[in-house]
Amino acid sequence: MSGNTFGTLFRITTWGESHGCAVGVVIDGCPAGLQLDEADIQKELNRRRPGQSDITTPRKEEDSAEILSGLFSGKTTGAPVSILVRNKDVDSSKYEALRNTPRPGHADLTYELKYGLRDWRGGGRSSARETVGRVAAGAVAKKILSIHCVEVLGHVVELGGIRAKTASIEEVRENTEKNPVRCADLDVAVDMEAMIHAARSEGDSVGGMVEIIGIGVPAGVGEPVFDKLSAELAKALMSIGAVKGVEIGAGFRSPSMKGSQMNDPFEISEGKIRTLTNNAGGILGGISNAEPIVCRIAVKPTPSISQEQRTVDMSKMKETKIKIQGRHDPSIPPRIVPVAEAMMALVLVDQMMRGGFINPSTIG
Amino acid sequence: MSGNTFGTLFRITTWGESHGCAVGVVIDGCPAGLQLDEADIQKELNRRRPGQSDITTPRKEEDSAEILSGLFSGKTTGAPVSILVRNKDVDSSKYEALRNTPRPGHADLTYELKYGLRDWRGGGRSSARETVGRVAAGAVAKKILSIHCVEVLGHVVELGGIRAKTASIEEVRENTEKNPVRCADLDVAVDMEAMIHAARSEGDSVGGMVEIIGIGVPAGVGEPVFDKLSAELAKALMSIGAVKGVEIGAGFRSPSMKGSQMNDPFEISEGKIRTLTNNAGGILGGISNAEPIVCRIAVKPTPSISQEQRTVDMSKMKETKIKIQGRHDPSIPPRIVPVAEAMMALVLVDQMMRGGFINPSTIG
Amino acid sequence: MSGNTFGTLFRITTWGESHGCAVGVVIDGCPAGLQLDEADIQKELNRRRPGQSDITTPRKEEDSAEILSGLFSGKTTGAPVSILVRNKDVDSSKYEALRNTPRPGHADLTYELKYGLRDWRGGGRSSARETVGRVAAGAVAKKILSIHCVEVLGHVVELGGIRAKTASIEEVRENTEKNPVRCADLDVAVDMEAMIHAARSEGDSVGGMVEIIGIGVPAGVGEPVFDKLSAELAKALMSIGAVKGVEIGAGFRSPSMKGSQMNDPFEISEGKIRTLTNNAGGILGGISNAEPIVCRIAVKPTPSISQEQRTVDMSKMKETKIKIQGRHDPSIPPRIVPVAEAMMALVLVDQMMRGGFINPSTIG
Amino acid sequence: MSGNTFGTLFRITTWGESHGCAVGVVIDGCPAGLQLDEADIQKELNRRRPGQSDITTPRKEEDSAEILSGLFSGKTTGAPVSILVRNKDVDSSKYEALRNTPRPGHADLTYELKYGLRDWRGGGRSSARETVGRVAAGAVAKKILSIHCVEVLGHVVELGGIRAKTASIEEVRENTEKNPVRCADLDVAVDMEAMIHAARSEGDSVGGMVEIIGIGVPAGVGEPVFDKLSAELAKALMSIGAVKGVEIGAGFRSPSMKGSQMNDPFEISEGKIRTLTNNAGGILGGISNAEPIVCRIAVKPTPSISQEQRTVDMSKMKETKIKIQGRHDPSIPPRIVPVAEAMMALVLVDQMMRGGFINPSTIG
């Protein structure tokens, strides 16, 4: 398995399994001089943490971040920042029954076929627990971005078929963290929460859609052929487990639009060239145009459901059925929000460095 | 501008501008021993070529491929394969009027802001002409894939709001190249063609959706964290100009699905573990599961339209209006099909090499 | 600071500082199915460990390796292998005096100039302690190589002007670990040891030369333009602190040789094409030819000496003098042997994967 | 074969064979706004060109550079710069006799073993002709460096056992291009020239040593772990065919030095911290210290000699003898000077971009 590293200049390498002793990340390319402490990271990990509300898995993890390197007197030195999070609430007993019966919608089968063996305890490396490292590194990326006046916000815009009404950036900023679903439309959030409870009681799960917005990104970010800002975001977001689609701006509405509707006209506003609309999602030709960067991701329903499902016994090569026990989120979108934000933040820092917007050696 | 190279082991570097003297590509990492000649490449370039039918731009380009290196006695040697295509029908006169007035929906403004100058002749590097190199390299990738019994097919599934009915792989293989729209549903293809003519006559353009299918990909392809097969495909496809969204399998339908609907149950068929459905689009945990790889891309309407549009004069920083002259496709999807196929083929070869499925040094 | 990752398919990322809480490495791209435990790693760390004999620094470090991920039931799973080594004997008190006075021959000044601040405790990231991660990862690489019948051996061939006589591979294998200097010429080893004691008693240090040999490397390893096997080895070895030169085969003797002397004639031996001599050091055109890979590195004398040296006070920008206290090896070559071996092993595994000699997904 | 691309942000991809139709290079990552024309490139190609004096091969190549992309109105646009050089004086007749008999010291055997076939015309991709692309790209790198007040100079310091006396930078700048050997010591240059003629008349060849100096490099360039400035230079220089060793500063003299001799003391000169000596070769801890960067490379004697040599007939697997006909330089160092300069220039631009010293998007 290669590909546990992401980024060109600002790069992260994540490691660890669901039921191993720890998970972690090494950040390479962090500029010197950044004020950083464990609380910066903890804040984001707490948003991703299991057990934060009654719509998430009851697995109890403090997810306490330990910074092992790269800091001196409260500032980054430019050296790699290694962050470790111990796994605490590890219970593999439920998984023994699943050793030979791959769970539909999970990576059990494909890992087994690719590697000839697998860590079957809780999905091993394919578990959502892998995203702890992404979120920890994303916290550092967000801190760098904030110095450059860039903010990244995510929120749930659809869940189980229920759509939130369009929210302003202010509403997203204000409302998202006020409800466990992370929906900026507080009325609809209540319905979404009920939907999640209903799905759980049926032994089922629901999918959803999350929007991620980059605010304050200067014009000129993005390398405009293969490493377009849009292409890097697509890879970053699609690399999150459970994500089955990524769109930018008008996205999948654009196939039914005409050019006269899709094109964002230019105007001059406060001395700057701006667009009247933002169907482009802030990216033209792979380069940011100073409008908000707007992405949406399609998140599939949690594959772990307690309803009976058809599968096969790999050891006997015959068909069988399973019911998945264990502790699972009945819906992924609320907890994927900080992960998706982290991935956008990582892309933005990396691309801003590549374009000369952030000094790769030192901050300030 | 960095990022004109794509791939890890099988890598391509493209170069060239719309109205420069030539465009081209260097393929690095092509194994030795592959039978290859210019006809292999020409076949794919002809599918991408402008002027191939009356729904494309009337720009006349033979797009004749010249292989400059990497071949000896009709076979690849392992050395880089450099392919050159001269630009013939170059007429920049229409673009002079647009030097200071960025075209809405195009990269004119963002290139100008990023680089401080731009090649304004036909979009320069941001032109769709950049994809000639992708298609030429994709032709080589397809030839390598065919030796490994993998096929890549693309077809238009929606255009200007008109949706084709679901097609079998056989229908895609048989019908797509029989009509200028590249739609496998021959009845609907006629309507789509009419739609394109109508849009052109209104000085407007239409978007669409293209599906790309990888058939015969063995189980186990894909590096399952950041370089998931799905993530690499998302980047590859989103890096094509005009693409605003990428989805895999159920994609943007999954947010409204339940886990019990989304999960593809496993069965045993002809001694192999297969899935009954393919909502996963052939990828579980970022790794192929031997089912067809199914992606769809959202293609925006051509931004070049002859209707009057609002823009700004950058030299005077005041608002103005433009009507774009020149020769343009009123709809991109039919010609994007070979480009999207090329990108999937490039990803598959690269990932199959990374996984040990294709020997990186020599074929056969 | 970027560049804490090394390798293309088999890649390592190291982190940690001399006087931080720990150092470590993440190995990405380790195939599944490799039998591995902490003892495999400890064996190599013990060869690098400070305090292993009376010619090394008296700093006491157990350098006890903890594997945090990537293992299941005693085998690698393909997931990243994260290895942690806690720093135990950390005493920064001697370094406070050096905060403003860069030590000649060290990286103090250049780190300060590049990053605007530095971790001045024991050199921070620029310390030789950074090589713990290299050696730990090298132990894994060696284990993979041994399965493919490749062995890597290093030994000291010159120290403080004293040259060992040419040793056979058997002598290197037998004798090197029998003496603290790691010289295969046991007679000369005694003189070298005396030389080191003499240098220390004078408050001085001595340089040396180390040879590293790769045995059993099959023909065909190496990518023959920029990523020549020789070029990758040169980078790998020159990236070790204190190394000021790298040569392959006849190396710096070749400038005074004639072609008729330098060229290794081909013969047939036991049905294989072999060379009569090995001035090429096992590499022709950047590709291995199945002869032993032979590299030598020039190692400078330890820059930390207790004699008075001229330096500057950076805070006052005036000249001053320092005497360096602290615990240092008076000669680096004996302890650099396992580090250099590790770097060759890492290059060989990576290049053997790139060439299709080692399956990147699974062993056996 | 992978690895035809070099660099991280400023990257070049070379292609082409000795007796194919052309050779070339694509430069990706060249900032916009650089004044550039073909004469800039031609100047350096002329220094590398065969037939420039009577000590080089009589092969007649104009090596006329054609820039195919990336320029607009005399300036770079940021898009890839593709440069093509047609091969003119191609005569493969002499090589037919060598199809089955690998030339000692050449890559014939290793290419055959690795790829199963080879372009035997003049060495194909392994020919020194591959360096045309390096030199063309190096010319662009030098132009970028000159804007940042950095200069790269190379000269022959040893040839066939004859050593030049130590030269000042001024002598190197003044004298090197005044004699066909490219030696800054004009007296010794005459002896070297005679040595080359003598070797040729004996059907033999001679090796040598070349020094490359980077002047004006600011302090702080280099990424100080695996991508040390010294490590990148080592790889860059060792990747040139015929190079068997690389040293920095005191290099292979340092093994016999003491710390008190090797360490460069710091002083203050004109308000800056400087070193009194430069045994470090301008690099401490992998980072430049503003002193001249000094590298030397060991160049083996040309392997193509007309004396009879032992080899094997691969088709019959029996021993035989060959005499190599054809047109060859009897000594490589004079013509390797511009190649080595190019490689240093490429490394410096790339590392200065990575460190934030050169804006990757736009010049000025």
Quick check: D4 and C225 CB within 8 A?
Answer: yes
**pLDDT of D364 over the 80 cut:** no
pLDDT of D192 above 80: yes
Task: Quote the tokens at residue B353.
Answer: 């090499």
The verdict on A78 touching C (C-beta cutoff 8 Å) is yes
- Mean per-residue pLDDT for B346-353? 98
Q: Per residue in B241-282, pLDDT tens?
A: 999 999 999 999 999 999 999 999 999 999 999 999 999 999
| Of the candidates B247, B288, B60, the residue with the CA atom closest to the CA atom of residue B158 | B247
CB contact under 8 A, B239 and A204: no
Question: CA-to-CA distance for C104 and D260, rounded, in angstroms?
Answer: 10
When the pLDDT of each residue in chain D is averaged and rounded to a whole number, the result is: 95
Tell me the nearest-neighbour CA distance from C154 into chain B, angstroms. 30
| pTM assigned to the model | 0.97
* Residue B26 to residue D26, Cβ atoms within 8 A: yes
CA-based nearest residue to C26, from C7, C40, C1: C7
Q: How confident is the model at residue D226 (pLDDT cuts 50, 70, 90)?
A: very high
Amino acid letter, residue A88: K
Give the CB-side neighbour count of residue C310, counting CA atoms within 13 A. Answer: 14
Given an 8 Å threshold on Cβ–Cβ distance, is D220 in contact with A360?
A: no
**What are the tens digits of pLDDT across the range C196-221?**
999 999 999 999 999 999 999 999 99
- DSSP-derived 3-state class of residue B332: coil
pLDDT at C143 (0 to 100): 98
- pLDDT tens digits along C156-184: 999 999 999 999 999 999 999 999 999 99
Q: Which chains have 3+ CB pairs within 8 A of A? A: B, C, D
Interface membership of B265 toward A (CB under 8 Å): yes
User: Higher pLDDT residue, D205 or B88?
Assistant: D205
**For residue C364, pLDDT beyond 80:** no
Q: Does B74 touch chain D (CB under 8 A)?
A: no
CB of B62 within 8 A of CB of B72?
Answer: no
Q: Where are the alpha helices (DSSP H) in chain A?
A: 38-48, 108-115, 131-147, 169-175, 186-201, 229-238, 259-262, 333-354
Q: What is the structure's pLDDT at A342?
A: 98
- The CA-to-CA distance between both ends of chain D, in Å, stands at 38
With beta carbons less than 8 A apart as the criterion, state whether D229 and D347 touch. Answer: yes
Band (pLDDT 50/70/90 cuts) for residue C65 is very high
Contacts 24+ apart (CB under 8 A), C316-321: C316/C100, C317/D268, C317/D271, C317/D273, C318/D268, C319/D266, C319/D267, C319/D268, C320/C101
Question: pLDDT-based confidence at B96, cuts 50/70/90?
Answer: confident
pLDDT of residue C207: 98
Q: Tell me, yes or no, if A86 comes closer than 8 A to chain C by beta carbon.
A: no
**By the CB < 8 Å criterion, does D77 face chain B?**
yes
User: What does the alpha-carbon distance between residue B202 and residue A55 come to, in Å, rounded to a whole number?
Assistant: 52
Counted across chains A and C, CB pairs separated by less than 8 A come out at 182
Q: Output the tens digit of pLDDT for each of chain A's 364 residues.
A: 899 999 999 999 999 999 999 999 999 999 999 999 999 999 999 999 988 888 887 777 889 999 999 999 999 999 999 999 999 877 888 788 889 999 999 999 999 999 999 999 888 999 999 999 999 999 999 999 999 999 999 999 999 999 999 999 999 999 999 999 999 999 999 999 999 999 999 999 999 999 999 999 999 999 999 999 999 999 999 999 999 999 999 999 999 999 999 999 999 999 999 999 999 999 999 999 999 999 999 999 999 999 999 999 999 999 999 999 877 889 999 999 999 999 999 999 999 999 999 999 999 6
CB contact under 8 A, C238 and D234: yes
**Which ipTM value was assigned to this complex?**
0.97
Q: Is D97 exposed, middle or buried (0-12, 13-18, 19+ CB in 10 A)?
A: middle
Looking at D29-168, list the stretches that DSSP marks H as alpha helix, in order from N- to C-terminal side.
38-48, 108-115, 131-147
- Residue C96 has a pLDDT of 83
Contact B226 A238 (CB under 8 A): no
Confidence of residue C293 (pLDDT cuts 50, 70, 90): very high
CB contact under 8 A, C285 and D257: no
Beta carbons within 10 angstroms of residue D344's beta carbon: 27
Cβ separation B220–C361 shorter than 8 A? yes
Mean of pLDDT values over D32-51: 95
**pLDDT at residue B61, as a whole number:** 80
DSSP secondary structure of C51-120? TSSTTS--------EEE-SSEETTEE-SS-EEEEEE--S---GGGGGGSSSPPTTSSHHHHHHHHSS---
Question: Could you tell me which of B183, A287, D261 has the C-alpha nearest to residue C305?
Answer: D261
**Is there a contact between C11 and A24 if contact means CB atoms under 8 Å apart?**
no
Q: For D153-172, how does the pLDDT look when each residue is reduced to its tens digit (9 = 90+)?
A: 999 999 999 999 999 999 99
**Scanning every residue of chain C, which has its alpha carbon at the shortest distance from the alpha carbon of D294?**
C244
User: B126 and A159 in contact by Cβ < 8 A?
Assistant: no
Indicate if the pLDDT at residue D58 is higher than 80: no
- How confident is the model over C119-136, as a mean pLDDT? 94
- Beta-carbon separation of D361 and A220 below 8 A: yes
Q: Please list every residue in chain D whose beta carbon sits closer than 8 Å to the beta carbon of residue C160.
A: 255-256, 258
CB atoms within 10 A of CB C76: 27
CB C298 within 8 A of CB C245: yes
Kindly state the tokens that stand for D320: 């035989």
Residue B172 above 80 pLDDT? yes
Torsion of CA B52, B54, B55, B57, to 10 degrees: 70
Strand (E) or helix (H) holding B351: helix B333-354
Interface residue A19 vs chain C (CB under 8 A): no
- As a whole number of angstroms, the distance between CA B307 and CA B310 comes to 10
How far apart CA D214 and CA C330 sit, in angstroms, is 32
Which of B246, B283, B328 should we substitute to test contact with A (largest number of A Cβ atoms within 10 Å)?
B246
User: Is pLDDT above 90 for D50?
Assistant: no
**Which amino acid appears at position D253 of this protein?**
R
- Does pLDDT of D326 surpass 80? no
Helix (H, G, I), strand (E, B) or coil at D46: helix
Question: Taking CB atoms and an 8 Å limit, are C356 and B354 in contact across chains?
Answer: no
**C-alpha distances in Å from residue D129, one per residue of D24, D61, D172, D240:** 10, 11, 26, 11
Mean pLDDT of all residues belonging to chain C: 95
SS3 C248: strand
Q: Rounded CA gap, D338 and D47, in Å?
A: 6
**Contact status of B331 with chain A (Cβ, < 8 Å):** no
Distance CA C252, CA D299 (A): 8
Nearest neighbour of C361 by CB, restricted to B9, B355, B359: B355
Q: How far apart are CA B285 and CA A315, in angstroms?
A: 21
Strand partners of residue C68: none
In sequence order, what are the residues at sequence separation of 6 or more whose Cβ sits closer than 8 angstroms to the Cβ of residue B286? A107, A239, A241, B222, B223, B224, B225, B227, B228, B229, B230, B231
Cα–Cα distances in angstroms (integers) from residue B140 to residues A32, B222, B342, D20, in the given order:
45, 20, 9, 19
More confident residue, C55 or B120: B120
The SS3 call for residue C182 is coil
- pLDDT band for B51, please (50, 70, 90 cuts): confident
Q: Are B256 and A248 in contact (CB under 8 A)?
A: no
CA angle B348, B350, B353 (to 5 degrees): 105
- Mean pLDDT value across chain B: 95
DSSP letters spanning B122-182: TTGGGSGGGHHHHHHHHHHHHHHHHHTT-EEEEEEEEETTEEPPP--HHHHHHHGGGSTT-
Closest to A335 measured CA to CA, from A19, A44, A49, A23: A49
User: What does the pLDDT read at residue D169?
Assistant: 97
| pLDDT, position C28 | 98
Whether residue C55 has pLDDT greater than 80: yes
Q: Which residue has the tokens 């802001």?
A: B113
Instruction: State whether residue D231 sits within 8 Å of chain C by CB.
Output: yes
Instruction: Count interface pairs A-D at CB distance under 8 A.
Output: 21
Tell which residue, B217, B215, B174, B167, has the closest CA to residue B188.
Answer: B167
CB of A279 less than 8 A from some CB of C: no
Q: Which residues of chain B make contact with C354, given a CB cutoff of 8 A?
A: 9, 360
